[in-house]
Amino acid sequence: MSDSFYMTNNKTDSIEVVQTPGERGRKKNKLIKEGWTSPSVFTIETIGTMDSTKVADNLADFAENDEDYKKTWMRVAVEKFWMKMSWYYPNKNDPYAPNLKEGWAFYEHITLARHFHRNRKSDPIERAEPGERRHPTELYSFFKTTGECLNDWGIGVALYFNTMKVMTVALLLAGMLSIPNMLYFMSSTYSGVDRELQVPSILGMGSSASRFFTVPVSAVCNSFSWAECQSGYCNEDKLVKEKIPFLKSSDGATILVQENECDDLTLDVGMINFAAIILLVVITFLFSLYQAKKQVIYDENKVTASDYSIRVKNPPKDAIDPDEWEAFFNKYDSKGVAVVTILLNNSPLLRALLTRRTLRKNLSNLFYDIDINNQEEVEKKLATYQFQPNGCLDRILYCFVRPFVKCFNMLLTPTEIMEKLKQNEILIKELQEKEYEVTDVLVTFETEDGQRLALETLKTGQIDVRTQRRGNRIEANLFRGQYILDCEEPPEPSAFRYLDLDANVFKCIVQQTITFGIIIVLIVIASIMVRETRMARGPAPAAILTSSMNILIPNVAKLLILFEQHASEDDRQKSMYLKITVFRWVNTALLLKISAPLTRQLLDQDTDLIPSINALLISEMFLPPLISIADIMGNLSKHYFAPRAKTMHQMLLCFKGTPYNLAEKYTDVSKIVFVVIFFSALNPSLLFMGAIALFVRYYADKYCVMRIWSSAPYIGSNLANFSRKYFFTLALALGALACAYDWGQFPYDRVCNGATNATTLSYDNGGGFDLIYPNGTVVDFTETFTVSRESTVRVCNEKVCCQQIGINFPPVPSRFENDEFEWMSDDQRTVSTIYGWTCVGFLIAYAVIAFCGNFIRLIFSQFVGIYRPVGKDQKIDFSSIKDIDGFIPQVQTGSYAYPLLACNIDYIDQGLIGWNDPGNSYDDYNMIFDVPHPSLTRTTRIMGSTRHWGQLKNHEDFTESDNFDSDAKPIFAIVKQWSLSDRRKGGLKRN
């Protein structure tokens, strides 16, 4: 019988049987408001208890009992059709082979997110724990799942999708505001020819490829005339160096240059673009305010352990007694402390044990037909073992991939594995004899009020923390009567990186500097590749290459991040965000702008700026989302490697899902916003293209997070704040700055007003002129042309050329023009002045918002403690929230389907762990059993699923070790939970 409870409604005198967890625990306040009994008499009583004999112990239950309409269409296709084909499932007739149906059941019940079944549509949606089997669950619906429900993946994920929605609307509105500019660029008023929108071929290849990528609503201009260059301002060396084509008479006395004949920049055009930028700034500002409020709402709706906990960052190194910490912090919460987690600087030991586990798992995958714990059998197998590549793919992996992944203990031979195991055993023996010190202490209170009171009371300046200057502090607030504690609210439990908590600050800085330097090198290499591809093959291949680089390099960044140490997943994501953003922004926009010669900015040939950026946006609109949905590597694992797996463990690893990083997804959005704003002055239609790109990404990523991606650490709001505060605002500021420079250099022909009269003549068959190309090549000019401009023009003297702005700042006319070189009309000067000084204001505002606040906060924090609670106290007891994740030290590894534990969990509720293997004990995943030590209370593993026992100490097979020594110094983290029944006076009884 499943857990069942009844509750009484005071308004209706009705009794309701409640069987879904969504109607228990953290929903207490909602039920009270609806008329259920008040906290003092609120009763939820158990009618029956779980009968373990009626609960499936493994994945076979899910595989056999799941109904087809609740499965993914891919799973149905595999089970109904593909499994029956030997080419797909070679092991289908092998009775000892792992069951592919159970692999797909694992994928849908463990890897993918599920929520508890709702009896009524009005019932709240509550996410179920992976492997939940006590209550019916179902996959989230792609169509019915609202943005609010995405909070179940973490506040950071919900804010990410919210960001995409808002920025999509913002770019769409800015595009609509820019429609008059698009119509102007299409008209004969601008270029002298009415241009029409045409539907090109689907690929846009061939001779007309450049036309496909040149949107008629851009500032492209092909109307030119020849103008006579004023003597002294036609330095030929400078003309060639600046890639300016020109005509030279046979006697060398006359030089003619091309002048753009499109209409001058008008005040209306410039101010409409300016208004679009201002609109985006206003929407971004309002969005920041809205997002801050939304983040509080999300936080209040999703109660997590961090809302109840504090992190002590400077505990005494010998403070290993959890009872001492519980006694100290009890005074801040009337209901007491619920859990204390004491972390040690034992990461070398954990890494060694993790390596041992990985090596042994790799060995068992190779020797799946023997017991690897039997040394004699292993040696016999080694003596006769010969590597047999299973097809072409295995040969490719071992020949080309193996040399690069051996350092990660991947694709090793059995002999290499055994050698590494011997070295690892020696290392572990050394590490287990060491004494470890306390690095952090995590205290979880029974109420949010207890956490807030503790943080408010114990807040202090960093100078006092470092010097331990007690002053007139109350002794009761000093640990052991003498220590000033440095306390803060911790990140989410799953965001803790327990292997890196004792990382040295200087070492972390060096690591990040080196990895960032590698990213810079990759930027240079990518820019050369893209430029050469664009010059040789045109905009389409270059755009595809750029998009591919934007997908490939983040994966390289992920590998580089492996060599960095970060105490939390938030810090790791920020580091990744910075590296990927720099690469994508530079690779996608800055290098494209810099590499295009000034005179080619408004042309429409394959290698010119506007066709290149349009091709890039078209590629970005569809290629990355299609690659994400295609999930090539994930489908290869599920449909090729899984049906050929020799063991169940091998199969389950194929169904772990495709990992994703929220930082990478945020950089993708910021890249699109940055690019479209950066080039919006010359091509306002990019605003619409950017909106389409974000719209497509929203639904592609929503599908991926529900059907493809594996579970990621629960990311709070820090990454969203980091992105919004530093990068989206910077994208707007730099985009506006680029527009200011664009309007300042318009019309990009390098032609300035001259001071002498010109000879207006018509020339037949080239008039005896030679054409000098930008690369210096000289050819005979045979076209008929006319010099109609009545005055000469100035282009280059010996030192500088017209419109050679460089990095002059601020981007205003007084910094661009001088007495020798003037080219702006009155309207252009007005637009440039307004734009330029506005950009100065934007940059100052950005510096104040992004850095001044943090700097002032940093200074103040040295002298006084800073703490401000976020959101309302939900008045929900920690113990009333069923299966809430606690701070249980554990490590994710690619060699196991579940995380590996690194602490004794005998005396805590197993619901705090955050996951459940339906068929195996938590002991199978606990590394404390890998090394004997007198500080461990138990050395014998309990077999089979243990979740329904609550605490392992209550298990019928629980036996304490005879060698346990309570005085022995621990080598693993300590976690202790106190009985809550005597603390929860008048509240909910724990079920």
Q: Tell me: pLDDT of 894 over 60.
A: yes
Range with lowest mean pLDDT among 212-226, 611-625, 858-872: 212-226
Q: Tell me: pLDDT of 37 over 70.
A: no
DSSP one-letter string for 841-901: HHHHHHHIIIIIHHHHHHHHHTTS------S------GGGSTT------EE--TTSSSPEE
Q: Tell me: pLDDT of 506 over 60.
A: yes
DSSP one-letter string for 939-977: -SPPPS--GGGSSGGGSTT----TT--TTSPPSSBEEEE
Q: Tell me: pLDDT of 213 over 60.
A: no
- Pairwise pLDDT comparison (187 vs 45), residue with the higher score: 187
The mean pLDDT of 641-656, rounded to a whole number, is 88
Q: How confident is the model at residue 368 (pLDDT cuts 50, 70, 90)?
A: confident
Q: Tell me: pLDDT of 422 over 80.
A: yes
Q: Tell me: pLDDT of 496 over 80.
A: yes
- Amino acid 646: pLDDT: 84
Q: Which residues of 82-117 are buried (b: 16+ CB within 10 A; e: fewer)?
A: bbeeeebbebeeeeebbbbbbbbbbbbbbbbbbbbe
Q: Which residues contact 100 (CB under 8 A, 6 or more apart)?
A: 78, 83, 89, 91, 642, 643, 651
- Amino acid 215: pLDDT: 65
Give ∠ CA 585-591-596 in degrees, rounded to 5: 140
Alpha helices in 708-825 (DSSP H): 718-722, 729-745, 813-816
Q: CA neighbours within 13 Å on the CB side: how many for 482?
A: 2
The mean pLDDT of 31-37, rounded to a whole number, is 37
- Amino acid 775: pLDDT: 66
Q: Tell me: pLDDT of 854 over 50.
A: yes
Q: How confident is the model at residue 207 (pLDDT cuts 50, 70, 90)?
A: very low
The mean pLDDT of 35-43, rounded to a whole number, is 32
Q: Tell me: pLDDT of 42 over 70.
A: no
Distance CA 60, CA 266 (A): 72
What is the strand order of the sheet 974-977 is part of?
Answer: 487-488, 309-312, 438-445, 337-344, 974-977
Percent of the chain with pLDDT over 90: 33
The mean pLDDT of 299-314, rounded to a whole number, is 88
Q: Tell me: pLDDT of 673 over 90.
A: yes
Distance CA 690, CA 167 (A): 9
- Contact present, 185 and 218 (Cβ < 8 Å): yes
- What residue has token string 């070398």? 348
SS3 content of the chain, % helix, strand, coil (to 5): 50, 10, 40
Beta-bridged to residue 248, according to DSSP, are: 255, 770
- Amino acid 266: pLDDT: 86
- Contact present, 217 and 689 (Cβ < 8 Å): no
Mean of the per-residue pLDDT values of the chain: 83
- Amino acid 390: pLDDT: 65
Q: Tell me: pLDDT of 152 over 90.
A: no
Q: Tell me: pLDDT of 724 over 70.
A: yes
Distance CA 706, CA 604 (A): 42
Q: Do the strands 337-344 and 752-757 form a parallel or antiparallel pair, or are they unpaired?
A: unpaired
Distance CA 839, CA 832 (A): 10
Distance CA 480, CA 319 (A): 10
- What residue has token string 């992976």? 130
Range with lowest mean pLDDT among 27-36, 499-508, 672-681: 27-36
- Closest listed residue to residue 140, CA positions, set 882, 705, 630: 705
Q: Which residues contact 229 (CB under 8 A, 6 or more apart)?
A: 246, 254, 255, 256, 257, 754, 792, 793, 794, 795
- Closest listed residue to residue 521, CA positions, set 590, 579, 597, 562: 579
Distance CA 854, CA 558 (A): 28
Query: In 3-state terms, what secondary structure has residue 624?
Result: helix
Q: What are phi and psi of 438, to 5 degrees?
A: -75, 135
Distance CA 443, CA 336 (A): 11
Q: Tell me: pLDDT of 492 over 90.
A: no
Q: How confident is the model at residue 160 (pLDDT cuts 50, 70, 90)?
A: very high
Distance CA 948, CA 952 (A): 10
**What are the tens digits of pLDDT across the range 6-17?**
333 333 333 333
Q: How confident is the model at residue 30 (pLDDT cuts 50, 70, 90)?
A: very low
Q: Tell me: pLDDT of 178 over 90.
A: yes
Give ∠ CA 334-338-344 in degrees, rounded to 5: 130
**What are the tens digits of pLDDT across the range 534-573?**
777 777 787 788 888 888 888 888 888 888 888 888 888 8
Distance CA 525, CA 835 (A): 34
Distance CA 210, CA 220 (A): 12
Q: What are phi and psi of 430, to 5 degrees?
A: -70, -45
The mean pLDDT of 70-88, rounded to a whole number, is 92
Q: How confident is the model at residue 354 (pLDDT cuts 50, 70, 90)?
A: very high
- Amino acid 611: pLDDT: 84
The distance in angstroms from the start CA to the end CA of the chain is 14
Q: Tell me: pLDDT of 199 over 80.
A: no
- Amino acid 197: pLDDT: 52
Q: What is the pTM of this model?
A: 0.81
Q: Tell me: pLDDT of 345 over 70.
A: yes
